[in-house]
Amino acid sequence: MVEGAARDRSLHVRIRQDAPIPLDLAFSATPGEILALIGPSGSGKTTALRSIAGLRDPADGRIVCNGAVWFDRAAGISLPPRRRRVGLVFQSYALFPHLTAAENVMEALTDLPPDDQRQEARRLLARVHLDNLGGRRPAQLSGGQQQRVAVARALARRPDVLLLDEPFSAVDRPTRRRLQSEMAELRRNLPMPVILVTHDVDEVAHLADTVVLLSAGRVVAMGRVNEVLARLDLPEFADRFDAGVVVTATVKSHNAAEGITELDHPAGRLLLPLMEAPVGERVRLRIPAREVALAIGEVGRLSIRNRLAATVTGIARMPSGAVEVKLDAGGDPLLARITQDAARELDLAPGTAVTALVKSFALDR
């Protein structure tokens, strides 16, 4: 490192092995960034995470975090897990059942005096919205509360990287959405890279900045979230995932009587089922390409309430025979999958002004 130069706090990973699970990938993540590893079961996501944490050594590669070399096969370096500053949240949470929530967090604070341990545990539990539950044991907590304790314990290690191994899979869908919102809020002040392992596309849409798409241990696509989510119709993923995009909108109002939340978006109003988010908050929504219909000219009376003004930016025929229409909707990219017949009838071309129609129940947040 050059004298006086700022330390590179990023995580740099290069891993290669042929067995027991083939793996060949390389990526980097910067402080405050959430990088998602996504792919079907057996694609190597968890193996990559365990390699970063030091729970297994790959056959070849190099892992550097916050300027420190954690693993380098060529140089014969492999730091044990205890010497890697890693915060790891397992799918099962792995809390000690005989300890309270506060005591579970204090287990990661053994380098501090007891009084400081208790104070820091209280601070971290408050940070994950468990201010008054520090005295409860895991069996007295809900699944969502246990997950928050696991996150607080991981942060207590003051990690150089936070690793999340399908952290929301053990809770029901409404709880999962609340936890994802809390993680999105928490990440704004995280000074380290976050690596999220998941097979949930909606989770990726809501949380990730960068996505690495894996299949059989190899990188199929890597890039910003919209770049990769738009490629989920690749042959190896077509039967598992839906291509789509992520848009950002602002919560305008809630109508509990009708079960609707209204959002403001530069391309028009968006209505979706009632959600938990304060008015004025900016939220991310995933819109699958198959849920977008297109219209030209005045749109009459329809049950579809979401109508976004958009402009065609590109048209391509897909291997399936469908037509992919790329759109600009108020500065956000949008995708539509329509039939060739529909594309001919609408006479679409780059620059054509259209109305993108999206059902409220197709919007997933």
Residue 154 has pLDDT above 60, yes or no: yes
pLDDT by residue (tens digit) across 301-315? 888 989 999 999 999
Q: Which numeric CATH code is attached to 245-362?
A: 2.40.50.100
Superfamily grouping for domain 11-241: P-loop containing nucleotide triphosphate hydrolases (3.40.50.300)
Residue type, position 7, single letter: R
Does residue 242 surpass a pLDDT of 80?
A: no
d(CA 25, CA 63): 12
How confident is the model at residue 236, as a pLDDT? 62
pLDDT in tens, 28-84: 999 999 999 998 888 899 999 999 999 999 999 999 999 999 999 999 999 999 999
Q: What is the mean pLDDT of residues 240-246?
A: 78
Percent share of the chain, pLDDT over 90: 62
Question: Where would I find the beta strands (DSSP E) of the chain?
Answer: 11-17, 23-29, 34-38, 60-65, 68-72, 77-78, 86-89, 161-165, 194-198, 210-215, 218-224, 244-255, 260-265, 268-273, 282-288, 292-295, 306-317, 323-329, 332-338, 353-358
Comparison of pLDDT for 322 and 101, the residue scoring more: 101
- What average pLDDT does the structure give for the chain? 89
Worst-scoring range by mean pLDDT, 74-83, 176-185, 206-215?
176-185
Report the alpha-carbon distance of residue 100 to residue 133 in Å, rounded. 9
- One-letter amino acid at 17 equals Q
> Closest by alpha carbon to 66, among 6, 9, 15, 108?
9
Question: Rounded to whole angstroms, how far apart are CA atoms 65 and 12?
Answer: 6
| Domain spans of the chain, in order of start | 11-241, 245-362
Among 364, 24, 7, 9, which Cα is nearest to 190's?
Answer: 9
